[in-house]
Copies of this chain bind each other. A is one copy, B any other.
Amino acid sequence: MVERRLTSHTAPPLVRLALLGCGTVGEGVVRLLRRNAEMFQRKLGASIELAGVADRSLKPDPSLGLESRLITRDAASLVARPDIDIVVELFGGLEPARSLMLKALESGKDVVTANKALLAQKGDEIFRTAARYGRSVGFEASVGGGVPIMRTLREALAGDRQRAVYGIINGTCNTILSLMTDAGAEFAEALHQAQQSGLAEADPTLDIEGHDAAHKLCLLVALAFGVLLKPTKVYTEGISRVTLADINFARQLGYSIKLLAIAKDDGSAIEARVHPTMIPQRHPLAGVAGAFNAIYVQSEALGPTMYYGQGAGQLPTATAVLADVLEIARHRCAGSNTSAPALGYPATVVKPGRVKPMDDVLSEYYLRFMARDQPGVLGAIASVLGRNRISIASVIQQGRGLTGTVPVIMRTHEAAERDLKRALSSIGKLKMVEPSPTLIRIEEQL
């Protein structure tokens, strides 16, 4: 509970935080709480106090104000303490994070978290529990690090209907693609460099295969369209098969390759997909380099808006956590919770949405076939595409290769995935074309 100090009539009330997990972001939260304590007090008329930290391996660090009396290994007891107002969950992962968050909400505490994996998979349970107990779940830090896209979708764009969301929301992938594009590195080399500089994990699978972006896209979809989507419903393709050759062909065609998380709402179904995407070099998203994130939103009345900033890192992510803490603290000090529902709509109104099957999705495509350098190849490929209602917008055919195969690059007009898959399967049976051509989707009209 928010406590009015008894020692003095003029002392401000206290809002007490419990921190679950004190890794990179947790330490950032501790730092900012100290550094900006006086500012928070002026803004709130209340002090925010770190009342306890649960962490398996944290050692006391008095220079950060992490006295040993604050540190515990027993997260459940910390969450159960009646003097705690807000639980900041930074453990990540499904358990024990889920159980601890539910316990916190059930005992009247508010929760702030950066846990996109948990919210994408168990968000319905958590948001409904929060609504039942009249508590808040702040999760600004879960998408885009310090980029305030969650509250923007929930509140700033609340008067409008969102049509589409395009996000560069995985800093590891964007760093790798930037290194490939700017330094001419192949994927493996760029990944290695990103790992050396701490911008990619030792096991980078979750990032480079697009799963992290898919989790985040579920939260973007929830806020943009009021629909809860499971990550398994998101078509997900990572960047590990993007080659330097494709990046260079993209450049020739006027495109940059980005790992985009894309969601669209055509009014009857939701499209949700994460994959390497060619976008026009002049588009604002194309200039988003390195570990930066950006979310480009197309709204019905407002048109396009873009939100850009550091998508990860200790202090940027901690600022997002603290924005949520301050908002909740304000409501607690006022003794009432009139914050917007976590997903913009009351939890009872948010429903699972119909997801458009990937087969029905329309896109333009970049296709790279490796073909024998002999007459008739182009015609053979083109006629299979034509039979499948796919029309070709442009072709790049390169000179003679040393290995006997040459790349044939085609850019198509808009076509359905179903038709394209059927065409590629037929082309794969042609003797003169190597199997498994490269396919990269193009977003021309974003």
Contacts and interface: CB of A to CB of B under 8 A. Distances in A.
Interface of A: 28, 32, 35-36, 39-40, 42-43, 45, 140, 146-148, 151-152, 155-161, 226, 282, 284, 287, 299, 301-310, 315-316, 318-323, 325-327, 330-331, 334, 336-341, 344-346, 349
Given A148-B157, A334-B338, A303 B310 contact: yes
19 contacts: A39-B161, A42-B226, A42-B345, A42-B346, A43-B344, A148-B305, A157-B319, A159-B318, A159-B320, A160-B319, A284-B284, A301-B315, A302-B310, A305-B310, A306-B306, A306-B307, A327-B340, A338-B338, A338-B339
Given A39-B161, A155-B327, A306-B306, A32 B301 contact: yes
A302 B319 contact: yes
Contacts of A301: 28, 32, 35, 146, 315-316, 318-319
The SS class assigned to the A binding surface is: mixed
Given A43-B345, A338-B336, A340-B327, A36 B305 contact: no
Given A43-B344, A344-B43, A305 B146 contact: yes
A107 B339 CA distance: 24
B307 A307 contact: yes
Copies of this protein chain in the complex: 2
Nearest to A292: B304
Residue among A42, A301, A330, A341 with max Cβ neighbours from chain B (10 Å): A301
A232 to B, nearest CB: 27
Given A151-B156, A302-B316, A338 B331 contact: yes
B146 A151 contact: no
A346 B282 CA distance: 43
* A-B interface, 9 closest residue pairs, ranked by CB to CB distance from nearest: A159-B322, A148-B156, A305-B309, A301-B315, A334-B338, A306-B308, A146-B302, A336-B336, A160-B319
Nearest to A332: B338
A305 B160 contact: no
A304 B309 contact: yes
A302 B315 contact: yes
Given A316-B302, A338-B336, A322 B160 contact: yes
Residue among A226, A304, A305, A321 with max Cβ neighbours from chain B (10 Å): A305
Contacts of A147: 305
Contacts of A316: 301-303
Nearest to A44: B346
Nearest to A301: B315
Given A301-B318, A338-B338, A152 B159 contact: no
A441 to B, nearest CB: 24
Nearest to A293: B305
A32 B322 contact: no
A309 B319 CA distance: 23
Nearest to A148: B156
Contacts of A331: 338
A309 B318 contact: no
Nearest to A338: B334
Nearest to A288: B284
A39 B265 CA distance: 15
Contact of A309 (B36, B155, B306): B306
A335 B140 CA distance: 26
